[in-house]
């Protein structure tokens, strides 16, 4: 009878150990799945929240430029222009200077704001423009230009002039690619809106944002411990990155991430990509912006899964402790 009871005890304890191990293993696997899913969701939410900061900056500039263009379309008088020609353009431009300046100073991310008459609107060696800019972006050293040589608008295919000719030729507002202004020699992007009065193109209204300002917005974003954000153009060249320069090619720096992003962005506006960079496993979460640029947050996988690792250690510890206790009970029973 004693042997039988001992046998039952051994079987019971052994079964308990197996159950403890199975329950522990199942709990670990289930918890890991939940944490992985939660980590991915949190990263997607993070990139969407940070992307909103960028889009909001772009939207402010778009709204201010559209308002300036609407004002010009309403206030410009074709009748007065036909009557006084150059004098009207000169006086009208002077009246626009304080308005343009006000728009620039009240648009947080704007480095410059302008209203430009089309150089072909009247035969002259000069064209009129109300251009207010703050090259140092300190809000104080504001400079104003009211005329420009007509020659500065030619040739029309010059890359530095596409900020003007693309909206003129397409008849639509647009964001430019990154370019360096002829006068300021500052890398920037611009939002330009064509202006029509009585269905005739008379000029453009626009605002500039420097890449430096854009870089400040992106580089100030804090992600986990060592994660960071960066910005790519639609061809996957760097616009803003803490290590790489403007127009550096992602393809040359990390082919794995380049291929994955290129493939994923065709199908999805947002997504998560696992890759390795300089020997470190990383996770990149991206979001395509309205202008087709790609905003990316990159984080070492270890930082994202730190909660997972801690839970793994805890669950393994509990399972081992339970197993040891069960074995000790079995030894005492013997």
Is residue 169 helix, strand or coil? helix
What pLDDT was estimated at residue 318? Answer: 59
Which pLDDT belongs to residue 308?
55
DSSP H or E run through 256: helix 255-267
Q: Check residue 309 and give its pLDDT.
A: 53
The reported pLDDT for the residue numbered 330 is 57
3 state SS for 273-294: EEEEECCEEEEEEEEECCCCCE
Question: What pLDDT score was predicted for residue 213?
Answer: 84
Walk along the chain (334 residues) in steps of 10 and give the mean pLDDT of each run: 55 58 55 55 75 87 96 96 93 95 90 93 88 75 84 88 92 90 82 96 95 86 86 94 93 95 90 90 90 90 69 56 60 57
* Distance (Å, whole) CA 96 – CA 114: 9
How many angstroms separate the CA atoms of 292 and 153, rounded? 28
Other Cβ atoms within 10 Å of 281 Cβ, number: 13
Instruction: Give the model's pLDDT for residue 222.
Output: 79
Q: What is d(CA 152, CA 326) in angstroms, rounded to the nearest whole number? A: 87
Please give the pLDDT value at position 144.
Answer: 86
Q: What local confidence, expressed as pLDDT, does residue 303 receive? A: 83
Residue-level pLDDT at 257: 95
> What's residue 177's pLDDT?
87
Half-sphere exposure of 168 (CA within 13 A, CB side): 18
All domains of the chain, ordered by start, with CATH?
A: 76-209 (3.30.450.20), 213-305 (3.30.450.20)
Q: Which residues pair with 250 in a beta bridge?
A: none
The kind and range of the H/E element at 229 are strand 228-232
Q: What's the pTM value of the predicted model, to 2 decimals?
A: 0.76
Question: From the centroid of its chain, how far is CA 210?
Answer: 14
């Amino acid at each position: 009878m004693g042997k039988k009871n001992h046998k039952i005890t051994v079987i019971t304890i052994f079964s308990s150990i197996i159950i403890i191990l199975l329950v522990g293993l199942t709990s670990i696997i289930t918890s890991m799945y939940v944490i992985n899913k939660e980590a991915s969701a949190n990263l997607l939410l993070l990139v969407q929240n940070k992307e909103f900061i960028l889009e909001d900056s772009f939207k402010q500039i778009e709204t201010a430029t559209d308002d300036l263009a609407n004002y010009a379309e309403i206030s410009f008088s074709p009748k007065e222009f036909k009557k006084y020609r150059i004098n009207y353009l000169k006086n009208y431009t002077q009246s626009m200077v304080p308005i343009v300046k006000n728009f620039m100073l009240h648009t947080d991310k704007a480095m410059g704001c302008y209203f430009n008459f089309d150089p072909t609107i009247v035969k002259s060696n000069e064209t009129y423009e109300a251009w207010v800019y703050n090259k140092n972006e300190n809000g104080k050293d504001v400079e104003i230009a009211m005329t420009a040589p007509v020659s500065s608008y030619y040739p029309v295919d010059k890359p530095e002039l596409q900020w003007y000719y693309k909206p003129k030729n397409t008849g639509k507002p647009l964001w430019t690619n990154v370019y360096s202004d002829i006068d300021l020699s500052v890398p920037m992007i611009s939002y330009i809106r064509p202006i029509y009065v009585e269905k005739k193109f008379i000029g453009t209204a626009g605002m500039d944002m420097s890449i430096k300002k854009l870089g400040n917005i992106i580089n100030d974003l804090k992600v986990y411990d060592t994660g960071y954000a960066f910005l790519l153009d639609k061809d996957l060249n760097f616009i803003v990155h803490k290590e790489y320069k403007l127009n550096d090619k992602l393809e040359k720096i990390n082919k794995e991430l380049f291929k994955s992003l290129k493939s994923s962005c065709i199908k999805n506006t947002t997504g998560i990509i696992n890759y390795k960079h300089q020997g470190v496993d990383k996770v990149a979460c991206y979001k395509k912006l309205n202008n087709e640029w790609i905003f990316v947050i990159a984080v070492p996988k270890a930082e994202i899964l730190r909660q997972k690792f801690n839970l793994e250690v805890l669950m393994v510890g509990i399972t081992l402790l339970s197993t040891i206790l069960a074995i000790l009970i079995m030894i005492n029973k013997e």
